[in-house]
Chain A
Amino acid sequence: MAQQEYQKYYVPDQSIWPIVGAVALFLIAVGAGNYVVEVSKGKEGIGGYILVLGLITLLVMVTGWFKNQIDESMSGLYSAQLGRSYRQGMAWFIFSEVMFFAAFFGALFYARMIAVPWLGGASNNAMTNEVLWPTFEAMWPLTGTPDGTQTTAMAATGLPLINTAILLVSSVTLHYAHVGLEQNKRKQLTALLGVTILLGAVFLVLQVWEYIHAYRDLGLTLQSGVYGNTFFMLTGFHGLHVTLGTIILIVLFFRVIKGHFTPKEHFAFQAGSWYWHFVDVVWVMLFFFVYVL
């Protein structure tokens, strides 16, 4: 790169938001740490209030920080190099999310392929079964645990299949919204982005419906053994990510209406889109390993 073409890398001035964010995380951790104990013991306490205060602080921080970023971006302080920093940062963040889900998928695979068969006496574990729970039989989904908890498996057809279709379609609509942005077709952009948000919202509603069905009709709960654990932890964390992704898309929608993005410069849109495709891929994995197999 020739020296004269070089655009100075924007190093921001001092900022209040990181320290506000640090205080927010502190309050959230202290609040949640106390609240969890209070709930499990049925005690009265202020943990819940501290947690809410922390979440509000975090919201203020995120809003302030993003407003700051948007203002800087709109006033043209950013360079192509900074754009690359943001893109790479987002990509590595998504990689870290992949690894977070990997831990739970790992637990699922281990429980299913190793722990449950061993408890049933597989490999050289005949005595484990005989001594601990002689009536236990290995199966998957684990509808009867060694200690006798009974539950029902969630079928893959029905709601989960519909939800899979919804998320897959939403990935396509978001992609073409992005194409619309790059080709400066504003109508295509806003319409398809709106449809994507709608699909995300419908997915969440159906997911809540499925949870109610699981708890009320199937007796499938977070407490019903390792099948219920992995089912709710995986779909639950995925649902949280869809919620966050939908919020991101809604923010992007309003920014699109305000005309923030140009066909060439729209890091925020790209990041949101990457995030959405990522939660989609996780869902496909989930559908396959949690529901179908």
Chain B
Amino acid sequence: MTTLTDDVKDPATDDASHDGHAHDDHSHDDHHHHIPKGISRWLLTTNHKDIGTLYLWFAFIMFLVGGAMAMVIRAELFQPGLQIVEPNFFNQMTTVHGLIMVFGAVMPAFTGLANWLVPMMIGAPDMALPRMNNWSFWILPFAFLILLSSLFMEGGGPSFGWTFYAPLSTTYSGDSTALFVFSVHIMGISSIMGAINVIVTIFNMRAPGMTLMKMPMFVWTWLITAFLLIAVMPVLAGVVTMVLTDKYFGTSFFDAAGGGDPVLFQHIFWFFGHPEVYIMILPAFGIISQIVPTFSRKKLFGYASMVYATASIALLSFVVWAHHMFTTGMPVEWEKFFMFATMLISVPTGVKVFNWVATMWRGSLTFEIPMLFAIAFIVLFTIGGLSGLMLAITPVDFQYHDTYFVVAHFHYVLVTGAVFSIMAAVYYWLPKWTGRMFDITLAKWHFWCSLISVNVLFFPMHFVGLAGMPRRIPDYALQFADFNKWISVGGFAFGLSQLIFLALLVKACRKRGEPVSDQVWDGAEGLEWEIPSPAPYHTFDTPPQIK
């Protein structure tokens, strides 16, 4: 789709070429000639690749921490009856597991990928606002430090579910609620700044000739995601602020006795929450749209329709929020509106799935690791999408609401959807980042162990959910015991499989493995595959010309 007319410079000639620049005589020019060493490199960095790496490692660590909490949940649910933890601690585990996976793992991982890839894909020297980029990242670990340390407070951490419905989070919550609120504020600030950076980079930093409709799909999906983030993260900040004032300052936004309404909480929360769901999946669509063409050795089928489908999904995501609230009390006309609006989203989503399949159709397929994850994504995400369609039907949702069927649904779209896409992305671009091929044997083990265990983990949840097992309860009726045992076994296996990934990543970061070519994968197209592997510390100091 895009080609470079200039020769892309390797690091050595890159340095030499600086002498010709008009602005080289200022005092800052020497920073291009060395990579800073030690801890200060990471603390003070303004380099999009460093910050991308920080985001990705942070997300992976949070993925393991949140995963450990899931292990606690599955250990408790291995058998019926209260076995290992107190119910209040169980609630803290489900709450913090959700918060960490959403705000600490999936979102930062996508932001990390955007940091690494967007400037390289559009031919920009860095992100548009490099210092703010550093700030966006470094406030995140502090936010999670606060959230995690609140677990050790007297009375424990937040235990009202990641959706913190009022009055659970207001009237009935513990003293850690204030810390929870402020840590969510910081996460919001981080996401908003990160999104502003991405959106400005894409609008203002594209190389000459890189028109909007030539941009790689990953850039397109992130552009739209960034818009969603800026639109809804402030609403989250607003709703947590109302929780704070309701709990500590005597307001009654969510208290009917003062003229408010607990249902109002759900409306505001899900006005944020539903676009948030697409924030966590649109970049995944972008990743899959990069990987599938490479290993099919074909152009992406229906590029323009992919762009329009992404935009349609984003716009529709603002008018479907109340499908999370079918059972909480709404006029029947609203229920019908939200049901049909929700089902409408399956149209652009279907366009995407068809386009990926059509891209593979009669392509010269090979099944390298990123492609394996991408194909697993397409199949398993579609399962999650279809169960979502079932949940969208109002009368049916009356039965499914708050059962394990819902848990199965959103774990299919978030784990085998978002998380698998992130893993696919890491395998796809890791050789470009490190300059060496990762350990393919370990990667195969990681893929197959994850694929099998994740289905043992989440598929039976559909069955127990349809049979009526409620979510967020540490105990269950005896009839669910067999399935839950298998779910837990699948959970432990999936957790252990991620340690293979950890080993692989550590090995890759220590620069083991065969050096790779600049293109890495034959069939890979785009600016990032035309620069050297590993990608130099600074790329595209002068913008390339795109035809």
Interface residues, chain A, with chain B CB atoms under 8 Å away: 1, 3, 6-19, 21-23, 25-26, 28-30, 32-34, 36-37, 39-40, 65, 75, 77, 81, 84-86, 88-89, 92-93, 95-100, 102-104, 106-107, 110-111, 114-116, 118-119, 123, 132, 142, 145-147, 149, 222-223, 225-229, 233
Contacts and interface: CB of A to CB of B under 8 A. Distances in A.
Contacts of B543: 6
B40 to A, nearest CB: 7
B125 interface: yes
A8 B541 contact: yes
Interface stretch (B106-114, B245-253, B392-400, B405-413): B245-253
A142 B259 contact: yes
Nearest to A65: B131
B245 A229 contact: yes
Interface residues of B, number: 84
Contact of A223 (B239, B251, B261): B251
Contact of A3 (B145, B196, B542): B542
Interface string B38-70: 001101111000000000000000000000000
Nearest to A118: B261
Q: Is the interface of A mostly helix, strand, loop or mixed?
A: helix
A229 B204 contact: no
B131 A12 contact: yes
A214 to B, nearest CB: 15
B257 interface: yes
Given A19-B44, A99-B235, A26 B139 contact: yes
Contacts of A225: 252, 258-260
B336 interface: no
B185 interface: yes
Contact of B203 (A10, A17, A88, A228): A88
A13 B22 contact: no
The 4 closest A-B pairs by CB, nearest first: A103-B238, A33-B179, A18-B135, A29-B182
A29 B128 contact: no
Contacts of A65: 131
B233 interface: yes
Given A29-B146, A29-B179, A146 B185 contact: no
B253 to A, nearest CB: 6
A84 B129 CA distance: 11
B134 interface: yes
Interface stretch (B264-272, B281-289, B478-486): B264-272
A77 B192 CA distance: 27
B259 A81 contact: no
B259 A116 contact: yes
Given A8-B22, A19-B138, A104-B242, 9 more contacts: A14-B46, A18-B44, A22-B135, A33-B178, A33-B183, A88-B128, A103-B271, A119-B256, A226-B260
Contacts of B23: 7-8, 10, 77
Nearest to A132: B256
Contacts of B175: 37
Contacts of A115: 256, 259-261, 263-264
Select the residue from A1, A75, A229 with max chain B CB neighbours within 10 A: A229
Contacts of B181: 33
Nearest to A228: B251
Contacts of A233: 241-242, 245, 251
Contacts of B195: 92
B234 interface: yes
B204 A81 contact: yes
B146 A33 contact: yes
A11 B126 contact: yes
B419 to A, nearest CB: 27
B9 to A, nearest CB: 14
B31 interface: yes
Interface string B178-194: 11011101100100100
Contacts of B124: 9
A25 B238 CA distance: 18
A138 B87 CA distance: 40
B374 interface: no
Contacts of B248: 36-37, 39-40
Given A13-B31, A37-B175, A19 B259 contact: no
A3 B179 contact: no
Contacts of A95: 230-231
B230 A9 contact: no
Nearest to A47: B178
Contacts, number: 237
Interface string B535-547: 0001001110100
B96 interface: no
Nearest to B203: A88
B26 interface: yes
Nearest to B236: A103
A18 B138 contact: yes
A280 to B, nearest CB: 19
B263 to A, nearest CB: 8
Interface hub of A11, A30, A142 (most chain B Cβ within 10 A): A11
Nearest to A26: B142
A121 to B, nearest CB: 13
A88 B204 contact: yes
A233 B28 CA distance: 46
B324 to A, nearest CB: 16
A15 B233 CA distance: 27
B343 interface: no
Given A132-B256, A225-B258, A226-B258, A100 B28 contact: no
A223 B250 contact: yes
Contacts of A84: 204
Contact of B139 (A7, A21, A111, A147): A21
Contact of B234 (A15, A34, A96, A110): A96
A75 B28 CA distance: 12
A99 B232 contact: yes
Nearest to A23: B142
Contact of A9 (B40, B125, B253): B125
Nearest to A119: B256
B46 A15 contact: yes
A93 B193 CA distance: 8
Given A14-B36, A85-B204, A115-B264, A146 B257 contact: yes
A88 B134 CA distance: 19
Nearest to B232: A99
A114 B259 CA distance: 10
A202 to B, nearest CB: 28
B182 A18 contact: no
A96 B190 CA distance: 13
Contact of A93 (B22, B28, B196, B208): B196
Contacts of B126: 9, 11
A178 B205 CA distance: 28
Contacts of B253: 107, 111, 226, 229
B199 interface: yes
Contacts of B192: 93, 96
Contacts of A103: 234-235, 237-239, 242, 268, 271
A29 B185 contact: yes
A15 to B, nearest CB: 5
13 contacts: A1-B208, A8-B21, A8-B541, A11-B125, A13-B28, A14-B46, A15-B46, A15-B134, A85-B128, A97-B234, A111-B259, A115-B256, A145-B258
